[in-house]
Structure 1
């Protein structure tokens, strides 16, 4: 734990972690809030899955696009614009009862305008700490973000069931604006400028490590999305669903903090995905709340450590000018996974029951383990070296406060 204490004493690190967690907290609420709202309006998990898929497809397009824009127009301008549009789109979903197709269109716009906070902060991190602290910082970040997934589902279920599903979405919207404003105001966003990439958009995908991170992230988040849909359907919007999902995230939080100091080898990602796959496979056997909670806790232990490896392997293998776009593509993979996981789970719930969602989650995780194992040949060996980005051949401008 002393490693993390030293990190948090570094100038600005604690502040930027708290600000970006606050800004991203609504996105731990929105998938579940949209699922509950659309399912209530149209009485169909399949319809809710389609709306979530539309939102996630929009997010998947926005990831590399808005990340690249930050190198052209600056982080603050892009974040202000996307936050405003996303707020309007999500408010429309909450306040108006629309046909499923209309919900999908508005949700797509909301997803397309998702503020690129994650690519921004992970591009800033290498400029805030020493090279030896970067891998532990990625691990701390991946672990800390589990607070979003611990509290987010609980807050969403409580507000949506005790007040209304409209209130559940609007609470997330208010938090998005408040947290985004705090993050945008941080001096670090003015001190670091992302240099304009000289290569065409998508060229970063020629790096095998970025492709591996994108594919495995897609499958990992697809598994998590299927679990979320299955748990909500199993407990019929009850508070139990928030509690079980919180247990899932607590496992991830503990796993991230306990494994953050372990050096990253080419097989680290596959090992962590094996933990996730094993836990989800066990979970699908029996849907008793105690069994399910314990199995999801085990599965969760591998999630934050796997994400930390993904972030580190991208950082260590791309130029600084390409890091934001690379993280945008990784985010796109994760969001497509969320879309597919939600949609597949939704239709399986309608067709064969809640067990289908957990079998789908286990299938995604097993595929993620296989992809990580195959991709180990292209994964960097970071034992004894740092995860800093490859320096650009020209100076990177740093602006004053």
Structure 2
């Protein structure tokens, strides 16, 4: 932990971590807030699912686009524009009397305008610390983001069910303003400028490490989403046990990320970390007892944040600085699509098997697929044990001819 203390003493690091966590906190609330509000006002989970699907599609489409805009227009301008539109969309969702098409339209707008905070902060990190601190910083970031997924769903569920679903949406809007405003006004955003990318839109995702980060992120988050569906189905649609078990899953990830933060990242790092996730998830099929599930998901969680840290590190180390934000935008889109696919497949397998174990089977299949990809394509992973994990500079040395005297 001494290494993390030294890291947090680096000027700007602690403030940037706190600000981006506050700015991203609504990400853990928005889906549930939309789901609960639309179901409450229409009386239909189907309608709520359509509105939520529209928001998810919007986020997936916008991720690479708004991230790339930051290189053309500047981070503060893009973040301020998207934040403003997103806040207005949530206020409208909360206050306007709408039918299903209206909820879907505003859900799509809210998704499209989700501020690209994650891409922005992971572009800033390499400029705050030296190369030896970058991998631990990514591990710390991946670990601390679990706080969002532990606290945010509980907070929005309590507010939306006990006070009112409209109040829940307004709470999301308020936190967007406060957290997003803090992040946008952070001095670090003014000191870091992303150069305009010279390559065409989407070209960065064709780089093997970025493609691997996108594909493995899709599979890993798909596995986590399937676990969430399985836990909720196991404990009667979100009882106290469900919250506790999911919290244990997140705590395992938090602990794993903090424990491995200073471990050098080699080509086999991803495979080893995904193996831990796969073993833990495989054990869930033995029993649906709350203590057994808690223990097995604690084991599986130990590999989640470390695997995400590898994704962040190989993405940063494999692209030019001007392409970093767009690369993280594509990786984020992969994760969003994975979450939707994992939830859908888990639900289908629960219906097909008639038991929550279908969802855990889906989670295992996603994790096994991620492990296979990481093994088969191991040569495409950069070896960060012996090289600088910082982004490739946009300026390169130019060869000149020297005239002999």
How far 1:140 sits from its partner (Å)? 0.8
Distance in 2, matches of 1:318 and 1:293, equals 39
Tell me whether 1:326 sits opposite 2:289 in the alignment.
Answer: no
SS of equivalent residue, structure 1 residue 194: coil
How far 1:112 sits from its partner (Å)? 0.9
SS of equivalent residue, structure 2 residue 377: helix
Cα 1:94–1:269 shift into 2, 3 Å: farther
SS of equivalent residue, structure 1 residue 59: helix
Tell me whether 1:59 sits opposite 2:62 in the alignment.
Answer: no
Q: Within 5 Å, which residues of 2 pair with 1:225-244? A: 225-233=225-233, 234-244=235-245
Distance in 1, matches of 2:107 and 2:347, equals 17
Which residue of 1 is the match for residue 169 of structure 2? 169
| Structure 2 residue ranges without an equivalent (≥5) | 398-405
Tell me whether 1:389 sits opposite 2:385 in the alignment.
Answer: no
SS of equivalent residue, structure 1 residue 90: helix
SS of equivalent residue, structure 2 residue 114: coil
Q: How many residues align?
A: 395
Of the structure 1 ranges 99-108 and 306-315, higher mean CA displacement relative to structure 2 is found in: 99-108
Relative to the length of structure 1, the TM-score reads 0.92
Q: Within 5 Å, which residues of 2 pair with 1:71-220? A: 71-95=71-95, 98-220=98-220
Cα 1:226–1:311 shift into 2, 3 Å: same
Check whether the contact 1:135–1:386 (CA below 8 A) recurs between aligned residues. Answer: no
Tell me whether 1:366 sits opposite 2:371 in the alignment.
Answer: no
How far 1:347 sits from its partner (Å)? 4.4
Check whether the contact 1:154–1:243 (CA below 8 A) recurs between aligned residues. Answer: no
SS of equivalent residue, structure 1 residue 316: helix
The alignment yields a C-alpha RMSD, in angstroms, of 2.2
Cα 1:280–1:41 shift into 2, 3 Å: farther
Q: Within 5 Å, which residues of 2 pair with 1:375-386? A: 375-386=377-388
Distance in 2, matches of 1:211 and 1:46, equals 34
Cα 1:347–1:273 shift into 2, 3 Å: same
Distance in 2, matches of 1:251 and 1:72, equals 39
Distance in 1, matches of 2:72 and 2:297, equals 42
How far 1:246 sits from its partner (Å)? 1.4
Which residue of 2 is the match for residue 275 of structure 1? 276
Which residue of 2 is the match for residue 247 of structure 1? 248
Distance in 2, matches of 1:173 and 1:296, equals 32
Distance in 2, matches of 1:38 and 1:281, equals 35
Distance in 1, matches of 2:343 and 2:103, equals 16
How far 1:50 sits from its partner (Å)? 4.2
**Larger relative CO (CA 8 A, sep 6+): 1 or 2?**
1
Of the structure 1 ranges 40-49 and 364-373, higher mean CA displacement relative to structure 2 is found in: 40-49
How far 1:165 sits from its partner (Å)? 3.5
Tell me whether 1:266 sits opposite 2:242 in the alignment.
Answer: no
How far 1:207 sits from its partner (Å)? 0.7
Residues 19-56 of structure 1: per-residue CA shift (max 9 Å, x gap):
00011011122233334444555666565444433322
Cα 1:342–1:99 shift into 2, 3 Å: farther
SS of equivalent residue, structure 1 residue 325: helix
Check whether the contact 1:134–1:386 (CA below 8 A) recurs between aligned residues. Answer: no
Give every structure 1 segment of 4 or more consecutive aligned residues whose post-TM-superposition deviation is greater than 6 Å: none
Check whether the contact 1:45–1:346 (CA below 8 A) recurs between aligned residues. Answer: no
Of the structure 1 ranges 228-237 and 305-314, higher mean CA displacement relative to structure 2 is found in: 228-237
Residues 170-215 of structure 1: per-residue CA shift (max 9 Å, x gap):
3222112110000000111111100000111011122100000000
Which residue of 2 is the match for residue 24 of structure 1? 24
Relative to the length of structure 2, the TM-score reads 0.91
How far 1:98 sits from its partner (Å)? 4.8
Cα 1:38–1:355 shift into 2, 3 Å: farther
Cα 1:224–1:95 shift into 2, 3 Å: farther
Cα 1:169–1:229 shift into 2, 3 Å: farther
Which residue of 2 is the match for residue 33 of structure 1? 33
Cα 1:390–1:4 shift into 2, 3 Å: same
Distance in 2, matches of 1:189 and 1:220, equals 30
Of the structure 1 ranges 358-367 and 166-175, higher mean CA displacement relative to structure 2 is found in: 166-175
Cα 1:106–1:354 shift into 2, 3 Å: farther
